[in-house]
Amino acid sequence: METLTQEIAAAAARMVVEDGLDYGAAKRRAGKLLGLPPRTALPDNDTVEAAVREHIALFHADTQPAELAALRRLALQWMERLAEFRPHLTGAVWNGTATRLSDVVLQLFCDDPKSAEIALIDHRVDYQARSVNGFNGDAVDALSFSSPCAELGEAIGVHLMIYDHDDLRGALRPGANGRVSRGDRKALLARIEEESQHD
């Protein structure tokens, strides 16, 4: 059974890295691709993340570190522009598995949810608003737009998830795997510094 889980995770990881799919879509598509019954148990996100890291190490070790660094610098720019909303980076750019196909996901913790939209309008950002499931299971507003990334020579998707200021309290506790799944500007700078020392 373990090998089937790993097989699904490996197929999903390939789609995450090569096609830019999110974990959920990649797992479902991997199951179909492998001809598995619809109710087959899919691997959890930690298993897929481990497979993503493996795939990157095997096939993208020469390009991925520079792409990740460029995306982290882009995230930093937006965190500085939106500093008043206590931005925290999450997702692949935070955990180190991002490639040029990955989007930047920032979680904002606002006193007034509408103020982030007003800030984007002030920055003349053309954004789309929608509702998505947040990390606490409730629906949250997401503001999505494209931002040019000069280092990569292309536009990158940026998604702002709008949370209430009080949500920040529970957001910084480590998960079951012992890792923190988001970080503020200071934490991101520490990761960038750490990566530059490995070069």
Mean pLDDT over the full length of the chain: 92
40 and 80 share one domain: no
Task: Give the whole-number percent of the chain exceeding pLDDT 70.
Answer: 98
82 and 178 share one domain: yes
120 and 44 share one domain: no
Domain membership of residue 53 as a residue range: 2-59
Query: What is the total count of domains within the chain?
Result: 2
Model pLDDT, residue 174 = 79
Q: Report whether pLDDT(199) > 70.
A: no
Is the Cα dihedral 150, 156, 162, 165 positive or negative? negative
CB 64 within 8 A of CB 105: no
33 and 75 share one domain: no
Q: pTM for the full model?
A: 0.92
Strand order of the β-sheet with 182-183 is 128-133, 139-149, 154-164, 104-110, 88-90, 182-183
Write out pLDDT tens, residues 161-183.
Answer: 999 988 888 777 877 777 888 99
